[in-house]
Amino acid sequence: MARRKIEIDWKKVQELTEAQCTMKEIAASVGIDPPHFERKLQAKFKQTFSEYKEQHAPAGLAQIRKAQFKVAKDGNADMLKFLGKNYLNQTDKGEVQITSDAAIKLDFNKDELMELLGEVDDI
């Protein structure tokens, strides 16, 4: 009894690879076991699944970035914050750092200075 020939939808394989699916997930999606899937892929493309994924997965990541950017441009505040934090090193912290080479002259008399130092001790 001959085995039934399985036709693989290679466009679907590429789409699933771009969606960051594993070989096991893709093989299940096209209805064959992972070792058989990898042999078929090797015969068709002359590369291992790892090589194939390295070639096609980045396109999916680019699509995600593009979609996120569109959502942000459409005014989604949460996405704007996410992209700002991850790509522009922005934070929610209210820290201010001031640097200057200028000298600062503080003009206190002794009583005022003692009063200020006493307030510091109270903190």
List per-residue pLDDT tens for the chain, 123 residues long: 666 788 999 999 999 999 999 999 999 999 999 999 999 999 999 999 999 999 999 999 999 989 999 999 999 999 988 888 888 888 877 666 667 777 777 777 888 878 878 765 555
Question: CA 53, 31, 35, 44 torsion: positive or negative?
Answer: negative
Q: Is residue 64 part of a domain?
A: yes
Helices (H) and strands (E) in the chain, counts: 6, 0
Taking the C-alpha atoms of residue 18 and residue 64, their distance in angstroms, rounded to an integer, is 10
- Within a domain: residue 81? yes
**By residue range, what is the domain housing residue 30?**
10-92
* Number of folded domains that form the chain: 1
- Supply the pTM of this predicted model: 0.63
Q: Is residue 111 part of a domain?
A: no
